[in-house]
Amino acid sequence: MTLLDLNDRRAGALLGLAIGDALGAAVEFQPPGAFVKVTDYRAGGPHRLGPGEWTDDTSMALALADSLCDVGWDLNDQALRYLRWWNHGEYSVNGRCFDIGITTQRALARFEQSGDACSCASFDDHSSGNGSIMRLAPIPIRFVHLFPDDIRQLTDYAAGSSIPTHASEKCLSACRYMSLLLCGLMSGQDRLDVLSPDWPPLVPLREIAPLESAISEIASGSFRQREPPDIVGSGYVVKSLEAAIWAFHNASSFEEAVLRAVIFGTRPDFATGLFQLRVREKKGSQRILQVRDDGKGNSFISLSSQQTGYLLRIFGDPKGTITVQELRGGKTFVASAPSFSALATKHPKFVRESLVPVLKHVGIIPLAQDTKLPASKTAKK
């Protein structure tokens, strides 16, 4: 697999996390069957969000990604950014924290007093919410290079990312297992192989530290033997992880996987976990950066301005947006982003080596005059 393929999957992971979150936001807390089938972004829901707007899961993932980009590995810095989201609405889609899980809130309140991210979360089994697997994607994106040669370090980072808010053994184990799945898929391994109970990387994972029994049952294939209502959307980490993998494991298309995830309604935030898995299986961001026509002769990328802004927000520009226009006589599209200059200045290596190649790979060319990069690195070639 080429670096371009890997970067495409990494971009797909970031977009997929936010898209899964946004698709389920409007039907959150509603029981299955109580809402019109979800086929695209819609407004409303308990938080009265606009179409394509994300919830707490993506906000915390943004904070985690920002921390990894800015300071590297630092649990206190991660927790500080979560605290700024809770108290001041940083990383939120609308500038305020409109929803926070009880487990997360209690842990951050303790961190606000102690300043120690390693001691603020509950280790109790009854505090096994799904918050830390929902925000997990930045970990495998950043540390996929450790797979498969250093599974210990990779999974230590994954479990460590859970500690500031979700420190129960179930949560730590779920993060270790899910990070391994994501790295396998991101590395181009086949879905059936990665979800097999005999997948080779599971051997060193279990030798390093046995998976918690309920998570081990999922890794052994419990999702294959169950169907709704035994598969349920839930804020409980075990049920959430199982439901996400169930929706993903044999879906015949991206669209089918979407619908299977969102039908649960009651806690559709687990769709975030599903999309972290689904969008990078084969084509990464190509599976979601699809061109549509509005019937008026205008073509556009099927992401809202909030979602395209999210792609840039992850790497440092909270006000970034991408507008897309069709070039005359062809199917090439131009991403003209006011934020590109700031983004290129703050993260030139990322823009040059990751974002620009990914956008070009799916037929989008960042305008050279909107960046501080040489034209040969962006619009040309």
Model confidence at 52, pLDDT cuts 50, 70, 90, reads confident
What average pLDDT does this structure show over 140-152? Answer: 94
Q: What is the pLDDT of residue 79?
A: 98
Residue 104 clears pLDDT 90, i.e. is over it: yes
Helix H, strand E, coil C: the string for the chain is CCHHHHHHHHHHHHHHHHHHHHHHHCCCCCCCCCCCCCCCCCCECCCCECCCCCCHHHHHHHHHHHHHHHHCCCHHHHHHHHHHHHHHCCCCCCCCCCCCCHHHHHHHHHHHHHCCCCCCCCCCHHHCECHHHHCCCHHHHHHHHHCCCCHHHHHHHHHHHHCCCCCCHHHHHHHHHHHHHHHHHHCCCCHHHHCCCCCCCHHHHHHHCCCCHHHHHHHCCHHHCCCCCCCCCCCEHHHHHHHHHHHHHCCCCHHHHHHHHHCCCCCCCHHHHHHHHHCCCCCHHHHCCCEEECCCCCEEECCCHHHHHHHHHCCCCCCCCCEEEECCCCCCEEEECCCHHHHHHHCHHHHHHHHHHHHHHCCEEECHHHCCCCHHHCCCC
Residue 340 has pLDDT above 70, yes or no: no
Indicate whether 25 pLDDT > 50.
yes
Residue 34 has pLDDT above 70, yes or no: no
pLDDT digits (tens, 9 = 90+) for 298-320: 333 334 344 444 444 443 333 43
How large is the angle between the packed helices 270-278 and 237-249, nearest 10 degrees?
40
Sorting pLDDT into bands at 50, 70 and 90, what band is 45? confident
**Amino acid (one-letter) located at 151:** I
State residue 30's pLDDT score: 65
Look at residue 277 in the predicted model and tell me its pLDDT. 56
pLDDT at 56: 92
**CATH superfamily to which 3-285 belongs:** ADP-ribosylation/Crystallin J1 (1.10.4080.10)
CA distance 72 to 265: 36
Q: Which residue has the higher pLDDT, 272 or 143?
A: 143
pLDDT at 369 over 50: no
Residue-level pLDDT at 300: 34
Domain chopping of the chain, boundaries = 3-285, 291-377
C-alpha–C-alpha distance, residues 245 and 231, integer Å: 10
